Amino acid sequence: MPSLEIDTITAIAAVIATTDYNLSRSDIMRETGMAQDTIVKAVKWFVSEGYLRRLDPEAQGGVGRPATPLEPTPEFWQRARTDTDWRIAILTIKLCGVTRRPEREVLLRALTELAVRLRVRVLCAKSQLNPFAPD
């Protein structure tokens, strides 16, 4: 993973998973409130890991270079179903309807931290019960 925090990747994944159309980098930037360089690094990571695929740019009739839509791959949806942090973030957006960027960012960070703490507690409890149990 590039020098990006896990909650950055998780927040972007949740935004992608809860949108019913293919987002561009500028859409993701607008939805998350993250800086352009953060989004560029994250999208490169998502594409290199096979979670997103770049589609042909769509001309909107506006000025400048057309936006390149990013399509989630089957691998993206598989991880969205199995990764605990991604699932929590996606469910939070779906259930709580958090749409304002500052609220979403604070909530996603808190939930990601909670998920990490819960996972650590479960692993600690598991190791106390059976120190030879695999993780």
Provide the CATH number for the domain around residue 81: 1.10.10.10
Q: Is residue 120 part of a domain?
A: yes
Q: Is residue 1 part of a domain?
A: no
Burial 95-105 (b: 16+ CB within 10 A, else e): eeebeeeeebb
The pLDDT assigned to 87 comes to: 81
pLDDT category of residue 45 using cuts at 50, 70 and 90: very high
What are the structure tokens assigned to 63, written together? 């000025």
Quick one: pLDDT band at residue 3, thresholds 50, 70, 90? low
Can you tell me the distance from the alpha carbon of 107 to that of 96, in angstroms, rounded to the nearest whole number?
Answer: 10
Confirm whether 15 is domain-assigned: yes
91 within domain boundaries: yes
On the 0-12 / 13-18 / 19+ scale of CB atoms within 10 A, 53 is middle
Domain count, the chain: 1
pLDDT tens-place string over residues 62-120: 677 888 999 999 999 999 888 887 887 777 777 666 545 556 666 667 777 777 777 76
Domain limits at 116? Answer: 6-129
Residue 134 inside a domain? The answer is: no
Q: What is the pLDDT of residue 37?
A: 94
